[in-house]
Amino acid sequence: MAAVDRFHLLYKEISRSCNFYIEALAIVGAWYTVRKCVSLAFNTYGVLRLHVIPRLGGEIDLVKRYGKWAVVTGSTDGIGKAYAEELAKRGVNIILISRNKEKLEAVSRSISETYKVETDIIVVDFSKGSEPYSAIKEALKGREIGILVNNVGIAYPYPDYFTNLSEDILWDMINVNIVSANMMTHIVLPGMVEKKRGAIVNVSSASCCQPTPMLTIYGASKTYLDYFSRALHYEYASKGIFVQSLTPFFIATKMVACSSFASESSFLIPSAEEYASHAVSTLGLSIRTTGYWKHAIKMVLGWLAVSFVNSCGELTLPSEMEYRTQLPHPE
């Protein structure tokens, strides 16, 4: 009987201790669950506020907010052409810059006739280093440039090791993907600061969020554009300039023609026209965004998945909530 009593007392003591730990773990689990639910709720609201509400509430008058003219580089195909068309649809006059004169003339004529806006072209090969910029500066002199879209870019023909790339490819990618955005911004920004209004859109990529082996230079160049955009916004927001970094996932354009998966539009891979329609509506609302609501969902889900798997938090993807980091827009 004494042995039974001793066992009963021991059992009660163990139960009391276990209950304390169970309650403590329950509190920790509840806190973690609430934290994740609140984070998901804020991210969902952010996606709706950025990608849905603006499209329901009417379009912003871009001419009134930023100016009469927009400059779009790499504007004869893909995102550049579609973005130029979306701006023209909103009444903005367009200056198209690319290297193919015939394509430029065709796109210019099409935009002018379709949207009844003024257009102009500048024929430039951005792979030529510093050579083109004096001509660009002269051609833009006296224009009221309200929006600059640094879209021009080149990608690998196919994934490859860094040492297999030729020096020509390395220089071309640096000149086209990085130097062009710096120099175009340097040409256009002083006029914007003088007028105390303007917007600069730099087309980066979701590849800026993580290292991209076998696409090393491309990913690094897009990371540069992303950091360049964010820093520039903090420098010039108080002067009335809005700078945006667009970081899309795959879009069905010629740039991804080497991939049969990404070269055709699908539910998660929009056409350039569909993407541009959404991306333009985020202008003035977010300084860092995927530009497209389905891509925003992919970003959020990726962030949640990596956060769950990696308890150390070393490989965290930024959520769309973090992408929406913004400063008040100075009127």
Nearest to 89 by CA among 287, 281, 314: 281
Amino acid at 297: I
Nearest to 72 by CA among 2, 8, 158, 153: 153
The Cα–Cα gap between 142 and 293 comes to 37
The Cα–Cα gap between 320 and 47 comes to 7
Check 66, 115, 133, 218 and give the catalytic one: 218
What secondary structure letter does DSSP report for 227?
A: H
319 close to 300: Cβ distance less than 8 angstroms = yes
158 close to 258: Cβ distance less than 8 angstroms = yes
Within 10 angstroms of residue 225's Cβ, the number of other Cβ atoms is: 23
The Cα–Cα gap between 154 and 55 comes to 31
Specify whether 218 is catalytic.
yes
Which DSSP string corresponds to 294-331?
HHHHHHHHHHHHHHHH-TT-TTPPPPHHHHT---PPP-
Measured in whole angstroms, the distance separating CA 227 from the mean position of its chain's CA atoms is 11
Amino acid at 70: A
- Positions annotated as catalytic residues are 218
